[in-house]
């Protein structure tokens, strides 16, 4: 059986990525694939409990990074790897790029510590495609503050999100084959045209 594809969506809070996940799921299904939609932190019973702690409880930075990867390991073992082995496509809202961006960049832990955790938890695995939704931070903040109550990450100051966004763009620049950067200030229709074209490319490549 052909291994499935691992697809992730990334971006700073308020970038609009979550608005497209249900659409992406349907588009992938229309291509004839079974798709598992999941999220990080979370995705498992234990992961969702850790998510609540991570989003709402104050903690030391190293504790935060370790809990992120603890939830990720459970997620990989229980959900992501079994689904991929069964030939399903996995669509995940955030993965390790978020740790590089938020803990490594935003919290200024640096990339070395994140890389060490990544090498321990998933040394040879990266997403097949990462869609990075990007837009000016003032627009992201405006969108975010009018849609919901904020968690402890979303309540951070502008300089935190500047560093987070810069870390994301640095990751994308260094791995342009994997990343597809989406200008999230465009209309929803234009964004989905770009996503549809990229999905068709992934579909054709997976058939070879």
Q: What is the DSSP string of 27-47?
A: HHHHTT--EEEEESS-SSHHH
Helix (H, G, I), strand (E, B) or coil at 132: strand
Q: What pLDDT sits at residue 149?
A: 73
What is the C-alpha to C-alpha distance for residues 97 and 10, in angstroms, rounded to an integer? 8
For the chain, which domains are there?
6-207 (3.40.50.300)
What is the percentage of the chain residues whose pLDDT exceeds 70? 97
Please give the mean pLDDT across all residues of the chain.
Answer: 93
Question: Can you state the percent helix, strand and coil of the chain, rounding each to 5?
Answer: 55, 10, 30
**Cα–Cα distance, 124 to 81 (Å, whole number):** 12
Helix, coil or strand: residue 181: strand
Write out residues in the chain with pLDDT < 70, as ranges. 1, 140, 145-148
Is the distance from CB of 93 to CB of 10 less than 8 angstroms?
Answer: no
How far apart are the C-alpha atoms of 190 and 168, rounded to whole Å? 22
Beta 6-10 vs 129-134: how paired, if at all? parallel
Residue 137's pLDDT is: 80
pTM here is: 0.94
Beta strand segments in the chain, E? 6-10, 35-39, 89-93, 129-134, 179-183
pLDDT of residue 85: 96
DSSP-derived secondary structure letter, 13: T
Number of neighbours of residue 41 by Cβ within 10 angstroms: 25
pLDDT tens-digit profile of 97-139? 999 999 999 999 999 999 999 999 999 999 999 999 999 888 7
* pLDDT confidence of residue 136: 86
């Amino acid at each position: 059986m052909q291994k499935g594809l691992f697809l992730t969506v990334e971006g700073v809070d308020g970038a609009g990525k979550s608005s497209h996940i249900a659409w992406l799921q349907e588009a992938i299904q229309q291509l004839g694939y079974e798709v598992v939609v999941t999220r990080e932190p979370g995705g498992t019973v234990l992961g969702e409990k850790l998510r609540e702690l991570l989003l709402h409880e104050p903690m030391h930075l190293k504790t935060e990074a370790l809990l992120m990867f603890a939830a990720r390991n459970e997620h990989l073992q229980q959900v992501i790897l079994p689904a991929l082995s069964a030939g399903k496509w996995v669509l995940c809202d955030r993965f390790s790029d978020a740790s590089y961006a938020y803990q490594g960049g935003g919290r200024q832990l640096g990339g070395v510590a994140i890389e060490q955790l990544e090498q321990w938890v998933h040394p040879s695995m990266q997403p097949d495609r990462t869609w990075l939704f990007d837009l000016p931070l003032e627009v992201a903040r405006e969108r975010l503050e009018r849609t919901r109550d904020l968690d402890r990450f979303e309540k951070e100051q502008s300089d935190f999100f500047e560093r987070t966004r810069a870390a994301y763009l640095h990751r994308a620049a260094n791995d342009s084959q994997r990343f597809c950067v989406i200008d999230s200030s465009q209309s929803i229709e234009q964004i989905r045209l770009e996503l549809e074209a990229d999905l068709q490319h992934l579909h054709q490549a997976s058939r070879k």
